[in-house]
Amino acid sequence: MNGDVLKNFVNGQWEEPRGVDTLPLVNPATGERLAQVPLTNRDQLNQAVKAAKDAFEDWRDVPAIERARYLFRYKALLDEHKEELARTLTKEHGKTLAEARGSIRRGIENVEHACGIPALMQGTSLSDISPGIDCKTIRQPLGVYAAITPFNFPAMVPLWFWPYAVATGNTFILKPSEKVPLSQQFQFELIEQAGFPKGVLSMVHGTKEVAEGLVEHPDVQGISFVGSTAIARKVYERASSLGKRVQALGGAKNHVVIMPDAVEEPTVNAVVDSAFGCGGQRCLAASVAVLVGDAYDKFKDKLVERASEFKLGNGLDEGVTLGPVICAGSRDRILSYIEKGVQDGAKILLDGRKAAVEGYPDGEWVGPTIFDEVTDDMAIYKEEIFGPVLALRKAKNLDEALSMVQSSEYANATAIFTSDGGAARKYQTESGVSMVGVNVGVAAPMAFFPFGGTKSSFFGDVKAHGDDSIRFFTDAKVVMSRWF
């Protein structure tokens, strides 16, 4: 595939954008050139939006149970090809094969959930709200929706959005990350096989021009976005100012709190896997571990010991438990944060700056890194690093730990590790964070629960998947009737 230019999928067919520049797509573990990604322009994007708008007029009238049958077919195809898809994902992203398989499985769960749209989309009714007058709500689709998705979970995150959008009767355009488009190229081949009508689903490759085009296009009714807080805020402000629905999921700085009574082995494993799994490149990763009271002496060395056991390498190789970061730019940014942490006076307990893997000199390697003696004013504590870096903090008691969590700019996910039900209840009530784990390192909700944070981690009113998706992708119309 090395020199192939990827194609857009528009109006039910594959189209190679012409007269546009391309970006090289590189395997971050091996340096192998995988493909060329086209930078689609606004004119070509507008064709995709027009096709989606035209398709909406018929698709909205297809009965919900028939729309669900397309998703059932697509789900079956995902199950049939999930191993090949996982290998494609590992090649383009670098995450281990086990991590790739897990993310695909969670994506499929969203398709499964959306298949229940005949029940999920039902409204409510009440007879005789006044003598002889009945009232009901019905949920109706709004038109063309779009998503701008990130590099860290390229096979899974789009499935948080489009299955619900098309199941409820909308049409949809996806702009995948230009860093990892191969897994979506694969999935749209399966979408084509599933037989969705022309124009219902489209994929357009590109960068800023395509993203801004979707946000600003007058025929796009709503935008789903996942990425950094800075961009999420801009997407929300611009799209909402144009009257669009927006769910913009931003960055994170997730704290995990370890109480002295936490069960040792599962706590250590969960915290380390949360911090360093997927190279720390996930919005639910633990980036700060707050050790309460005696937990500091009990857990500090064990966290370092467990983190040092990761085996770096190509995610397709046997025994590898940690792959590369996504690209040279990300590697350089992560390393600059580690350097700044050292300069600011934090004590480095485990140093991943000189990580290397035999046989893969061109890989973007950063090893697990743990800092101690981290203070409130340090960049490694305040800012999202999005890499395999964990900061340790001490707290005298649970109240002090809670104050650290509450003072963070972000509020995406958090966790407490304890054997005390009272402490767990207090934490989940007072932490101020939207996704809370109790003895769970990655508080990732299942497809039938909402996903999203608050503060600078989320911009919008209605979150991703679960029942929130049905609300986001439909208008709740109220009908009052009286018959003479």
Task: Tell me if residue 283 is catalytic.
Answer: yes
Helix (H) or strand (E) holding 135: strand 133-141
How far apart, in whole angstroms, are the C-alpha atoms of residue 427 and residue 482? 51
Burial 40-73 (b: 16+ CB within 10 A, else e): bbeebbebbbbbbbebbeebbebebeebbebbeb
Q: What share of the chain is helix, strand, coil (3-state, %, to 5)?
A: 40, 25, 35
DSSP, collapsed to helix, strand or coil, labels residue 52 as: helix
Question: Is a pLDDT exceeding 90 seen at residue 348?
Answer: yes
pLDDT digits (tens, 9 = 90+) for 83-105: 999 999 999 999 999 999 999 99
pLDDT digits (tens, 9 = 90+) for 439-471: 999 999 999 999 999 999 999 999 999 999 999
Is the Cα dihedral 10, 11, 13, 19 positive or negative? negative
Q: How confident is the model at residue 19 (pLDDT cuts 50, 70, 90)?
A: confident
Please give the model's pTM, rounded to 2 decimal places: 0.96
pLDDT of residue 3: 64
pLDDT digits (tens, 9 = 90+) for 367-387: 999 999 999 999 999 999 999
Beta bridge partner(s), residue 83: none
C-beta pairs of 449-453 under 8 Å, 24+ apart in sequence: 451/160, 451/249, 452/247, 452/249, 452/412, 453/249, 453/250, 453/252, 453/283, 453/410, 453/411, 453/412, 453/413
Among the options 115, 135, 278, 283, which is catalytic? 283
What amino acid is encoded at 363 in this protein?
Answer: G
Report the greatest alpha carbon distance in the chain.
Answer: 83
Q: How confident is the model at residue 60 (pLDDT cuts 50, 70, 90)?
A: very high
How far apart, in whole angstroms, are the C-alpha atoms of residue 277 and residue 286? 10
How far apart, in whole angstroms, are the C-alpha atoms of residue 468 and residue 110? 13
Report the mean per-residue pLDDT for the chain: 97
Whether 285 and 445 have beta carbons less than 8 Å apart is answered as no
Helix (H) or strand (E) holding 8: strand 8-10
* Dihedral (Cα; 194, 147, 219, 59), 10-degree rounding: 20
pLDDT of residue 18: 85
What is the average per-residue pLDDT within 139-143? 98
Show the beta-strand stretches assigned E in 188-307.
201-203, 220-226, 245-249, 254-258, 286-292
Residue with tokens 């060395």: 301
pLDDT digits (tens, 9 = 90+) for 166-191: 999 999 999 999 999 999 999 999 99
pLDDT digits (tens, 9 = 90+) for 391-407: 999 999 999 999 999 99
How far apart, in whole angstroms, are the C-alpha atoms of residue 424 and residue 207? 43
Is the Cα dihedral 153, 251, 246, 239 positive or negative? negative
Instruction: Count CA within 13 A, CB hemisphere, residue 176.
Output: 30
Q: How confident is the model at residue 2 (pLDDT cuts 50, 70, 90)?
A: low
